[in-house]
Structure 1
């Protein structure tokens, strides 16, 4: 979830950017002069993070016998009212199922929910090294007690896979912050699990474990990244990975130079098939970098056009979409107008059933009948029951770099 850098992060490096800052420490200072960027993807990410926080807090409140609604949550956080569509609700449902899998992976297939307790959600903390220098902040999406250990969790709702938990710089920076909170509040723990859940990316969640030695090393490494980033003369190193989420790439000389390289790829061979694997990889990476740079320039240009700063250009109006959020009410209204045409069967043919909502409804019913019923078992039971009434789809795969490939 994003907020104003000055107010929340106090102008310091944030764990969420450590993957980039480790590759390009100079991007931290350069980004400070760039305006915050907004996009539909960023707005959706914020909404989904809020909804996941609500779901966790709702489950936590239910254990205490308390009612907790989505609108109560929004009001308590002073957020604007927002609704999720079926696809987004199902995406969050997948995220919860992946969390269940993480729990099973940590505690075994017969884990007990009583061994997991929510410590906090969306909490930002700061860590400083007053001797060597360096300071940063980080905000986990959720922190749990897991038996005699802790679990720090990060949701990722993008479509591009991020680094695994073992190699993820953001998680590495969050672990010392979780240890700091536990030490300050007297929470006893043997170690800290760290997990990344990416519901839009195929495969299970990525989980790793930090013992005392690894926690100490994570603190040293993270403070080193912060020190390097805060150096006003820190160098900039351009790459597709480093520039992917950098707000400064549209005005970065190093990024422009790499885009120029992409436009100058030329050999005495004029067929793609004659390029070596290494040359194809180089072209692929440069092309991805060029796309990111072009998107950043487009964004800045559109902002100037919208502000009336570019003569000869204006923003065309956007398209308006409409979504039915109350299907029961919509059917009643239409059926009253056209009782013979808009029947229940005809209306149902225009609808999509949110499988995640059914998962939760069915699991609640099964658990009421059998307190030992697990979420995973309920999900599998429902899929078998509805097999003849639905279909499963697999999305198109994406390019993924693996070890041993062309350099």
Structure 2
């Protein structure tokens, strides 16, 4: 495991909004997950490919996540990164290109450091690129504190060598086809660092300031037992769900605006209680740990096939072959060839009407207009 800063760049969106959270999170161990491990594999393979492009000695990493999908999406990221590198060379004859570079921003954030996936430093402009391999939550570069912290660290390293006027910060999330960029002047970045970042970092390192709950709680390590989050959700629970007809429209809107967070909070509390009970650390009155249901599985498929054939069954009876799914087929063929070869054979039916928040970017569905069109 690598070294992690208490006030890390990756968690900055959380501790900048809820300054006491960082110190509280320190009491909980980091937990590995399949998604995190897959993301690490994607970063390592991308680093190798970029080093190859830059003619830097490298050894291809080996991972259990190696697949055509991993190849496809890391190629997409590296292709985008190479375009940024080419632009840097067009601006300057001697740009600095750094891959997986540790940056230090402790002049604004106590003990603050992080690792930037790609930095391209040249006259006039500096590029910061961050790979997000996850596909659960789309990430935007707008007002992104993680990217800004990387930029501050890069400025500390190279501002004296180059006449850097602006920083372009980009999120590349290839599995969601999300390429989000935000550009700001160096003076704007430094103003934010002095007037917003630095004061909040001073509170966060001491565990001081006001608790603030919201979407940023999603990956907080103390989200299940946080009292501020519980108090916020208990306010909603106090409403009488047994008699929804007696709620006013305003009350219903309040419920709707918080129901997703309420469900996530309840899920987090359940997961925490379950983990503690299974580990034997706690007993919860009225609950117990039982043996869950399991499914049968083959212990040796080759031996199973051999025994079935010996019993008189044919190979075609015991084996079945199915066509690759659309995502896997696209990864296998590549987007261009996939569209040229199979585009006319792929259908995408209209999605079912779905109730969402008003800020959702999708066009509003109108049932009357749909019926009229038909």
Task: Tell me the distance in 2 between the aligned counterparts of 1:65 and 1:174.
Answer: 23
How far did residue 25 of structure 1 move? 0.7
Shift of 1:24: 1.1
Q: Does residue 283 of structure 1 match 2:255?
A: yes
State the distance in 2 between where 1:321 and 1:171 align: 47
Separation (CA, whole Å) in 1 of partners of 2:55 and 2:208: 53
Residues 14-56 of structure 1: CA deviation (Å, up to 9, x unaligned): 1112211222111122222233344xxx431332243233134
CA distance in 1, matches of 2:247, 2:174: 36
Q: Distance in 1 between matches of 2:296 and 2:138?
A: 29
Matched, 1:180 2:156: yes
1:380 and 2:336 aligned: yes
Q: Secondary structure at the match of 2:224?
A: helix
Q: Does residue 25 of structure 1 match 2:4?
A: no
In structure 2, stretches of 5+ residues that fail to align are 362-374
CA gap 1:70/1:98 in 2 versus in 1, 3 angstroms: closer
1:295 equivalenced with 2:251 (yes/no): no
| In structure 2, distance between residues paired with 1:195 and 1:248 | 30
- Distance in 2, matches of 1:96 and 1:280, equals 47
In structure 2, do the counterparts of structure 1 residues 357 and 300 end up closer, same or farther at CA, with 3 Å as the change threshold?
same
Aligned to 2:105: 127
Q: Hey, what's the Cα distance between the residues in 2 that align with 1:281 and 1:240? A: 17
Distance in 1 separating the partners of 2:75 and 2:293: 34
Contact map agreement 1:152 1:192 (CA 8 A) in 2: yes
Residue 261 of structure 1: CA displacement? 1.1
In the aligned structure 2, how far is the partner of 1:27 from the partner of 1:148? 37
**Counterpart in the other structure of 1:234:** 209
Alignment partner, residue 192 of structure 1: 167
What stretches of structure 1 of length at least 5 have no aligned partner? 72-80, 323-329, 360-378
Which among 224, 234, 255 is matched to residue 250 of structure 1? 224
Aligned residue runs from structure 1 range 335-374, under 5 A: 341=316, 347=321, 349-352=322-325, 353-359=328-334
Contact 2:13/2:146 (<8 A) preserved: yes
Q: 1:376 aligns to what?
A: none
> Contact 2:170–2:179 at 8 Å: present in 1 too?
yes
Please list the CA deviations of residues 139-159 of structure 1 after superposition, one character each: whole Å capped at 9, or x if unmatched. 323334578633212233142
Matched, 1:82 2:73: no
Residues 265 and 290 of structure 1, relative CA distance in 2, 3 Å threshold: same
CA distance in 2, matches of 1:55, 1:93: 11
- The equivalent residue for 2:131 is 155
Larger radius of gyration: 2
Change (3 A) 1:233 1:51: closer
SS at match of 1:70: coil
Residues 1:387 and 1:250: Cα distance change in structure 2 (over 3 Å): closer
TM-score, length of structure 1 as denominator length: 0.66
Separation in structure 2 between the aligned mates of residue 254 and residue 106 of structure 1, nearest angstrom: 45
Paired with 1:284 and 1:119, the residues of 2 have a C-alpha distance of: 46
The alignment partner of 1:259 has SS state of helix
Cα distance in 2 between the residues matched to 1:70 and 1:291: 39
Please state whether the residue corresponding to 1:23 is helix, strand or coil.
coil
- The reply on whether 1:50 has 2:19 as its aligned counterpart is no
Q: Aligned ranges for residues 8-19 of structure 1 at < 5 Å?
A: 8-9=4-5, 12-19=6-13
Q: Deviations over 1:43-70 (max 9, x none)?
A: 3133224323313422431553978433
Counterpart secondary structure, 2:158: helix
Contact 1:135–1:223 under 8 Å retained in 2: no
Residues paired across the two proteins, number = 339
User: Does the CA-based 8 Å contact 2:129-2:170 persist in structure 1?
Assistant: yes
Give the distance between the partners of 2:234 and 2:104, measured in 1 at CA. 40
Q: In 2, distance between residues paired with 1:246 and 1:266?
A: 29
| Contact preservation (8 Å) 1:152, 1:174 | yes
Summarize deviations over 1:194-222 as a string: whole Å, max 9, x none.
11223454x64110113221232243233
Q: Tell me, in whole angstroms, the C-alpha distance in 2 between the residues paired with 1:217 and 1:52.
A: 31
TM superposition shift of 1:257: 0.9
